[in-house]
C-alpha cells in the first residue's frame, strides 16, 4: 500500500502511518495534498489527523470530509501525543524569542509556553516537523515544539520532554481510501448531515432515529455550513456498521429528514 500522510518525516501523522504494517509512506506538505494523492491514485490511501483530545476537531480535515472528497474513512488510529521542546544550539528557554509549531501543538502546550518561555512569540508552521526547519532557519533565537523522532531526524536536541499541558493527550487519525471496511463486529460509522430549514426539535427528531433503535451515539459536533451564518452541518460517530440492519434503518431515517446526508465511512473501532 502506498500511503500518503502529512509530512515531512518526523510528524505525528508519520507515526500514525507507521502503524500500518507494510505501507510505503509518501509525505505531503499539507492535509489537502495528501488527500488529493489518494483521490488521484498517486497513493492508495491517506492518513490525516481528525481530532485531538485537548483541542477537539482538526477543522481542515473535517471540512475536507464534509465538502471536498468522496473518500471514506477506512481505519482510525489513536496515538498518545508527547511533545518536546527543541532549541537551537546554545539557546536557552529564556533566550527564545520565537517558537514554531503546528497550531494544534502550540495550543496543546499553551500553559507550558506561557510559564517557561514568557518572551517567545508563537508562530504557526505547516507541521510539527516543518517547525524544526523553521527553527533552524530562523534569524532570531528560536525553539520548536515537535516530537522526539523529529529531533532525531533533524539532529537537534530536545531541551525538555512531555511538555503538553495535559498528560493524557491523544490524537485520532483516520485513513481515507476509496472504500471503507467490511463489517468486523467491532465497528463505528461516521456520518454528516444538515437541514435546509430550522425548526424546533428538528435535530431531536433525527437523533431519535438512533435512540428508538438503541444505537449508541459516540460523538456529535457541528461545523458551519459555509453558506450562511448560524447554519451548521452535524457530524456523528455511532456504534455499528452501515450494513448492520438496524444501523442501515437508522441512517435511512436520518437521510429522509436531512437536506444533505453523507456517510463518511464504517470502520473498526481503535482498540
Which of the residues are catalytic? 171, 173
Residue 72 near residue 263 (C-beta atoms within 8 A): yes
| Residue among 72, 113, 79 at smallest CA distance from 96 | 113
C-alpha cell at 24: 510505503
Kindly list the distances between the CA atom of residue 75 and the CA atoms of 115, 147, 171, in Å, as whole numbers in the listed order. 38, 23, 14
Gap between the Cα atoms of 123 and 143, Å rounded: 10
**3-state DSSP call for residue 14?**
helix
Q: Is the peptide bond before 92 cis (omega within 30 degrees of 0)?
A: no
Cross-sheet strand order for the sheet of 260-268: 217-224, 232-239, 187-194, 260-268
Gap between the Cα atoms of 229 and 231, Å rounded: 6
For 198, counting Cβ atoms within 10 Å of its Cβ (0-12 exposed, 13-18 middle, 19+ buried), the class is exposed
Amino acid at each position: 500500500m502506498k500511503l500518503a500522510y502529512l509530512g515531512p518525516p518526523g510528524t505525528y501523522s508519520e507515526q500514525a502511518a507507521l502503524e500500518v504494517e507494510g505501507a510505503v509512506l509518501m509525505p505531503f506538505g499539507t492535509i489537502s495534498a495528501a488527500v488529493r494523492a489518494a483521490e488521484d491514485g498517486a497513493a492508495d490511501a491517506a492518513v490525516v489527523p481528525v481530532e485531538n483530545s485537548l483541542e477537539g476537531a482538526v477543522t481542515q480535515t473535517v471540512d475536507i470530509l464534509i465538502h471536498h472528497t468522496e473518500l471514506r474513512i477506512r481505519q482510525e488510529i489513536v496515538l498518545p501525543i508527547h511533545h518536546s521542546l527543541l532549541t537551537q544550539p546554545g539557546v536557552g528557554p529564556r533566550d527564545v524569542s520565537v517558537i514554531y509549531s503546528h497550531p494544534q501543538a502550540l495550543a496543546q502546550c499553551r500553559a507550558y509556553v506561557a510559564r517557561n518561555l514568557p518572551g517567545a512569540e508563537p508562530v504557526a508552521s505547516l507541521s510539527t516537523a516543518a517547525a524544526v526547519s523553521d527553527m533552524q532557519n530562523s534569524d532570531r533565537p528560536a525553539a520548536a515544539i515537535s516530537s522526539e523522532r523529529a529531533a532525531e531526524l533533524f539532529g537537534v536536541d530536545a531541551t525538555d520532554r512531555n511538555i503538553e499541558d495535559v498528560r493524557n493527550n491523544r490524537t485520532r487519525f483516520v485513513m481515507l481510501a476509496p472504500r471503507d471496511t467490511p463489517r468486523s463486529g467491532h465497528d463505528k460509522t461516521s456520518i454528516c448531515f444538515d437541514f435546509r430549514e430550522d425548526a424546533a426539535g428538528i435535530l431531536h427528531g433525527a437523533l431519535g432515529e438512533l435512540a428508538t433503535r438503541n444505537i449508541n451515539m459516540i460523538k456529535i459536533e457541528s461545523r458551519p455550513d459555509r453558506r450562511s451564518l448560524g447554519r451548521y452541518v452535524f457530524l456523528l460517530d455511532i456504534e455499528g456498521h452501515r450494513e448492520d440492519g438496524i444501523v442501515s434503518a437508522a441512517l435511512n431515517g436520518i437521510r429522509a429528514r436531512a437536506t444533505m446526508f453523507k456517510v463518511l465511512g464504517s470502520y473498526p473501532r481503535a482498540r
